[in-house]
Amino acid sequence: MSDTPPSSKPMTPSRPYLLRAMYDWISDNGLTPHILVNAAESGVQVPHQHVQDGKIILNVNAQAARHLRIGNDRVEMEARFGGVATPVSVPLNAVLAIYARENGQGMVFNEEAAPPPPAGPEKPDTKPGKPKLKLVT
Q: Is 98 domain-assigned?
A: yes
Helix (H) or strand (E) holding 130: none
Quick: pLDDT tens for 1-30.
Answer: 556 566 678 888 999 999 999 999 999 999
Determine the structural domain holding residue 39 and report its residue range. 12-107
List the CATH number of the domain containing 80: 2.30.30.220
Coil/strand/helix, residue 50: helix
pLDDT: which is higher, 26 or 135: 26
Q: How confident is the model at residue 110 (pLDDT cuts 50, 70, 90)?
A: confident
Lowest mean pLDDT segment, chosen from 62-66, 73-77, 91-95? 62-66
How many domains does one find in the chain? 1
Q: Is 116 domain-assigned?
A: no
